[in-house]
Amino acid sequence: MKKIFLIISIILIFTNYSFAAGSDGEGGKGSDNATNNRINKENTQSKYKYAVKNINKAKKYERKNKLKKAEKYYKKAIEYLFEENKLNPANPDTFNYLGFAHRKIWDYENAEIYYAISLELDPTHVGINEYMGELFVVTNRIDLAKERLDVLKNCDCKEYSELKAVIDGKKDSKY
């Protein structure tokens, strides 16, 4: 059932993209594909870049306990990430940040959906597995968090020790 929900979510996200993409009505006459590709690549990089900048600003406001301002920047990052997804669909890092930003504004349901999409695209991504595990801890689903930890056990990475400490209650999530 969960996979069906995930697949439907992915289809809905990409359906919005496919309706937005279409013919320019000129039948390709006089279009310069190299220029169009360069412009699309620049737009993609800038949307993602702006999203990351907004997330970093939000984190700074969080550290200062200015939560309303932080929330504003997380929401702006989400807007940029949706735009990024239209330009560059199926990027696990985009969905990872969508999950992260939604989790930070207390929208755990959408955060889980975006993390799940990320993991469908890249099941061994250490950052996504850590974040999903932390989300499971926050939502009191420790068994599922331990499953994410199990995926990380052989990675020899800080994400494993970070998630283990959060699961064991020795550390609060830094996110």
Burial, 51: exposed, middle or buried (Cβ in 10 Å; 0-12, 13-18, 19+)? Answer: buried
Higher pLDDT, 29 or 55: 55
Q: Nearest Cα to 167, choosing from 107, 155, 139?
A: 139
What pLDDT score was predicted for residue 46? 83
Reported as a pLDDT band with limits 50, 70 and 90, residue 142 is very high
Using one digit for the tens of pLDDT, what is the confidence trace for 155-175? 999 999 999 999 999 888 765
Burial of residue 173 (number of CB atoms within 10 Å: 0-12, 13-18, 19+): middle
Predicted structure pTM score:
0.73
Amino acid at position 94, single letter: T
What does the pLDDT look like over 83-107, one tens digit per residue?
A: 999 999 999 999 999 999 999 999 9
pLDDT in tens, 121-134: 999 999 999 999 99
The structure tokens 């309706």 sit at: 19
Which residues, other chains included, contact 26 with Cβ-Cβ below 8 Å and sequence gap of 6+?
none
Q: Is the pLDDT of residue 82 over 50?
A: yes
103 Cβ contact partners less than 8 Å away, ≥ 6 residues apart: 111, 131, 135, 138, 175
Instruction: State the Cα–Cα distance between residues 102 and 55, nearest whole angstrom.
Output: 11
Asked if 139 and 108 touch (Cβ cutoff 8 Å), the reply is yes
Determine the pLDDT at residue 172: 81
What pLDDT is recorded for position 3? Answer: 55
Q: What is the rounded average pLDDT for all residues in the chain?
A: 82
CA dist 21 to 15, 70, 82, 91, Å? 10, 33, 14, 17
Tokens of 38: 């360069």
